[in-house]
Structure 1
Amino acid sequence: MEAATVAPRFLVVDDHALIRHGLALALRMRFPAATVFEAGSLAEASRRVRSVGNLSAVLYDLQMGDTDGLPGVETMLRMLDGVPLIVVSASPDTRVIASCIRAGARGFLPKGSNPEVLDHALPIVLGGGIYAPLPQPVAAVPEPITLTPGAPAGDNPVAQLTERQREVLKLLLQGQSNKEIARSLGVLEGTIKVHLRSVMQRLGVRNRTQLALMAARAGMPI
């Protein structure tokens, strides 16, 4: 006889009650057997984590009233001690996404996503993978990138880039434009475009968002 499936237990953390309730409702619609808890601040989330226990995943708003941005994400991750954290944010900025994933978040959901994105993201995260969005037309469901945690260092394609390619990639992740990178390295802008095209081909990515996520996963400083 097969073991009974354990019903998931989610915690939604957002200081805007309407958004928090909306996320909780979307979770209950997609996981009818799930138990969904809510918290309106980082402090309340801390109390919930201690009192509830056995959480399956936490959806956490990046911009909280008591602790904004990455410090709040890092604090929450320490409290969760291995429970998957999915960051929810109105910002689709590549550097923000990469920083959250690098800090240890297992997913990133833009607030402009359709509710159906949960059908894609949650099974990946609950299965041990990482979900992050790619740029999509408005109202489309973001295509997931699935990254397998714990890949051997020998399989890290970033480490196989040339020294100059890694220099270009590092400056790109710092937010510099092609022109600024060219000025920093003392070369023509066209040369930088060639380097970036080669880097994307070597890493098997199609755009800068995927590039940033792969670099962050490989431990490259941003």
Structure 2
Amino acid sequence: MKVLIADDHTLFRRGLRLLLSSLYDDIDAVEAADADGALRIANEQADLDLILCDLAMPGMEQLKGLQALAQRLPKAPIVILSAISNPDDIVRTIESGARGYILKSASDETLKHALSLVLAGETYIPSDAFLDRQRRWVGGAGNPPLRLSSDNPLSTLTPRQRDVLTLLMGGQSNKEIARNLGLLESTVKAHVKIILSKLNVANRTQAAMVAADLGWPQPEFTDKSPV
């Protein structure tokens, strides 16, 4: 697998190269120190399988470098590696062509899981970023959090079941929910089954309708692409 590592910190690039070599047997890594260098390599080596790049390196201002790379090599997935954890910034990178976003504080296991999803054609973002965005759906920026009475069936849902319910109401499939929350699809199916039982409904459509009637807000972000 041929990988381009683009970051303006030499030690980080070398460290990531060693880490990738320990996780995969067939890594062929090339390096760039800025967006212009990354684009130059992309122009010269169209056989890249994966691009890993920093969000804050020179040339990435206003995501122009990311957009240029995505246009030059549309079939090579781009994954952002960054210390920036702002959910809105993460969403903008996905909208600008990235197929994944991994925080530099992530573990080796998280990195491998994320890259596996991306290389399989999926999209990866940190679950914490998604959950922060979901909390805004529920409470709204600057507004008090949603309060449910003790006799409301929604109050019996666990935090993770509420996460699943929110995405379910947004029209996402079990596979999409699993991807966005970093869960196994079988785990999502189990959560959905419990949600249907607690709301005393027969299917997902009824669950969404009943949840809305009980006061659970309809997500503003209903696009089925990653949140």
Could you tell me the TM-score, scaled by structure 1's length?
Answer: 0.62
Between Structure 1 and Structure 2, whose CA radius of gyration is higher? 2
Of 19, 30, 54, 2:12 maps to 19
| Aligned twin of 1:84 | 77
What is the one-letter code of the residue matched to 1:38? E
Alignment deviations for residues 145-176 of structure 1 (CA, whole Å, 9 cap, x no partner): xxxxxxxxxxxxxxxxxxxxxxxx99x48xx6
| Percent of residue pairs identical | 27
Distance 1:85 1:97, change over 3 A: same
Structure 1 unmatched runs, 5+: 1-7, 137-143, 145-168, 180-188
Aligned to 1:165: none
Matched, 1:215 2:221: yes
Unaligned runs of 5+ in 2: 149-153, 156-161, 170-176, 182-219
Deviations 1:84-115 (A, max 9, x none): 00011101111111111222211111011122
**Structure-1 residue corresponding to 2:212:** none
- Aligned match of 1:121: 114
Is contact 1:102–1:216 with CA below 8 Å preserved after alignment? no
Q: CA deviation at 1:78?
A: 1.4
Aligned twin of 2:216: none
Does the 8 Å CA contact 1:101/1:217 hold for their aligned counterparts?
A: no
**In structure 2, C-alpha distance between the alignment counterparts of 1:69 and 1:61, rounded to whole Å:** 13
Give the superposed CA RMSD.
3.7
Moved more, 72-81 or 56-65: 72-81
- After superposition, residues 1-222 of structure 1 pair within 5 angstroms as 8-135=1-128, 172=136, 177-179=141-143, 189=144, 201-204=165-168, 215=221, 217-218=223-224
Give CA deviations for 1:26-85 in whole Å, capped at 9, x if unaligned.
111111221111111111111111222211110010001233352322222112222100
Secondary structure class of the residue paired with 2:15: helix
Aligned length: 166
Q: Alpha carbons of 1:29 and 1:95: their partners in 2 closer, same or farther (altered >3 Å)?
A: same
- Secondary structure (helix, strand or coil) at the match of 1:37 reads strand
- Shift, 1:120, TM fit: 0.5
Q: Which amino acid aligns with 1:92?
A: S
Distance in 2 of aligned mates of 1:108 and 1:69: 16
